[in-house]
Chains A and B, each alone.
Chain A
């Protein structure tokens, strides 16, 4: 029983991945990202990776005014075939702006895109012009 408990604790710690959750430092202006369609994202900023804490209305807070990378990992299994992928995208959030992250799976590939939220538009979002290639975090 003790070994099962120890295994469960070890598994929980391993799954947690020792990644800190991002908390904006005092005085840092932030932007918000709607993650209702993307699932849980990771943030890479200043060469450090963070988990993101989701608010009850499915938004996460990210730093603004600098290029950041958001990533989303996916794993699926079926018919003795497993598939995993990690999609990422970088952009420069504007302070106070809200964004919409969209994760899409097609032809065994995964894609993560970020749009600006535009409540006045019929489709609710518009193009974000600062999108760029993802950065890879060392830490």
Chain B
């Protein structure tokens, strides 16, 4: 009986759902994609979000920006800036939105991120990003 329940659960999980907001290393759901990050070079952090064929590029861009804000808050940094490539970081040409493009027909977004203590015209406010997209990323809060 347990095997039937497990198999049913596995089939329902495998049945074409769009990538949700979770780590790409999630043992249950990571096969659909998810977020990841890696440190360096310098103070930069490379943050990525890979989606499957059922999620839109716009949604991946929201998830990616939200993950950046989460990381900034976890580091105790209120602001951050993002770059679409290492070259853009070197010449300091930040983005005003997360960059997502298709790879093998699936949306892949990745940005280099730099934490900031002070706001500027090119930084994102981590708290504002989290508040703005919380419902879209985590779903509406139930009372």
Number of A-B residue pairs, CB cutoff 8 Å, is: 79
Q: Are A104 and B86 in contact (CB under 8 A)?
A: yes
Q: Beyond A123-B43, A124-B44, A125-B42, is A105–B108 a contact (Cβ under 8 Å)?
A: yes
Q: Beyond A102-B86, A123-B114, A126-B90, is A76–B104 a contact (Cβ under 8 Å)?
A: yes
CB contact list, B1-55 vs A, under 8 A? 38, 40-44, 46, 53
Q: Are B104 and A125 in contact (CB under 8 A)?
A: no
A125 nearest CB across to chain B (Å): 5
CB contact list, A42-96 vs B, under 8 A? 76-79, 81-83
Identity of the chain B residue whose Cβ is nearest the Cβ of A102 in the assembled complex: B86
Is B87 among interface residues, defined by CB-CB distance under 8 A? yes
Identity of the chain A residue whose Cβ is nearest the Cβ of B53 in the assembled complex: A79
Q: Cα distance A50–B64 when bound, in Å?
A: 37
Q: Cα distance A79–B51 when bound, in Å?
A: 13
B12 nearest CB across to chain A (Å): 20
Which of the candidate stretches A9-17, A21-29, A106-114 sits at the interface with the other chain? A106-114
Is B73 among interface residues, defined by CB-CB distance under 8 A? no
Most buried by A among B40, B89, B103: B103
Q: How many residues from B make CB contacts under 8 Å with A?
A: 25
Q: Cα distance A127–B92 when bound, in Å?
A: 12
Identity of the chain B residue whose Cβ is nearest the Cβ of A77 in the assembled complex: B104
Q: Are A127 and B90 in contact (CB under 8 A)?
A: yes
Is A36 among interface residues, defined by CB-CB distance under 8 A? yes
B108 nearest CB across to chain A (Å): 7
Q: Which 5 A-B pairs have the closest CB atoms?
A: A124-B42, A124-B41, A107-B101, A106-B101, A102-B86
Q: Can you report 28 residue pairs joining A to B where beta carbons are below 8 Å apart?
A: A36-B40, A37-B86, A77-B104, A78-B106, A79-B53, A81-B105, A83-B103, A100-B41, A102-B86, A104-B85, A106-B84, A106-B99, A106-B103, A107-B101, A108-B102, A108-B104, A111-B85, A113-B86, A113-B87, A115-B41, A115-B86, A115-B90, A123-B43, A123-B114, A124-B44, A125-B41, A127-B90, A127-B91
